[in-house]
Amino acid sequence: MNRTTFEQPLPDMLKPLMSKGYGRSSGPAKGFEFVQAFPAGSVSTTADDMTRFMLAHLQEGSYGDVQILKPETVRLMHAPAFGATHFTNAMALGFYEESRNGHRIIGHGGDTEWFHSDFHLVPDANLGFFISYNSAGKGEVSPRSALWARFLDRYYSYQPPAGRKAPDASGDIRKIAGRYLASRRSETNILSVANPFSQAVVSSNSDGTISVSPFKNFAGEVKRFEQIGPMQFREVNGQSRLAWKTGGDGSMVMASDAPYAVYQKVGIFHNGLLHAILLGSSLAIFLLTLLLWPIAAMARRHYGRPLEWTVWQKRGQMAIRVVCLINLLFIGILIAIFSADIPKVILTERYDGWIHALQVLGLLGAAGSLVVAYCVFRSWQDARIWIWTKVWGGFVILGSAGYVYFVLSWHLLNFNLNF
Q: What is the pLDDT of residues 267-280, one digit of tens each?
A: 999 999 999 999 99
pLDDT of 35 above 80: yes
Check residues 62 and 41 and name the one with the higher pLDDT: 62
Contact 243, 172 (CB under 8 A): no
Distance, in Å, from the CA atom of 342 to the CA atom of 340, rounded to the nearest integer, reads 7
CA 349, 353, 356: angle at the middle one, nearest 5? 115
pLDDT of 343 above 50: no
Please say whether the structural domain 15-155 has been given the CATH code 3.40.710.10.
yes
pLDDT of 306 above 70: no
pLDDT of 248 above 90: no
Determine which of 94-98, 261-265, 301-305, 329-333 has the lowest per-residue pLDDT on average: 301-305
Report the pLDDT averaged over residues 218-229. Answer: 90
Per the DSSP assignment, residues forming a β-bridge with 263 are 182, 254
Query: What rounded mean pLDDT belongs to the chain?
Result: 89
pLDDT of 178 above 70: yes
State the pLDDT confidence band at 344, using cuts at 50, 70 and 90: low
Check residues 216 and 294 and name the one with the higher pLDDT: 216
Give the helix/strand (H/E) hosting 47. Answer: helix 47-58
Phi, psi of 223 (to 5 degrees): -70, 150
Q: Which residues of 376-403 are buried (b: 16+ CB within 10 A; e: fewer)?
A: beebeeeeebeeebeebbebbbebbebb
* Class of domain 170-267 (CATH, top level): mainly beta
How does pLDDT run across 117-139, given as a tens digit for each residue?
A: 999 999 999 999 999 999 988 77
pLDDT of 245 above 70: yes
Q: Where in the chain is the domain with CATH 3.40.710.10?
A: 15-155
State the pLDDT confidence band at 160, using cuts at 50, 70 and 90: confident
CB neighbour class for 87 (10 Å; exposed up to 12, middle 13-18, buried from 19)? buried
Distance, in Å, from the CA atom of 71 to the CA atom of 58, rounded to the nearest integer, reads 10
Report the pLDDT averaged over residues 160-178. Answer: 80
Report the pLDDT averaged over residues 42-71. Answer: 96
Q: Where in the chain is the domain with CATH 2.40.128?
A: 170-267
**Rounded to whole angstroms, what are the CA distances from 136 to 112, 142, 143?**
10, 8, 8
Say how many C-beta atoms besides its own lie within 10 A of residue 42's C-beta: 16
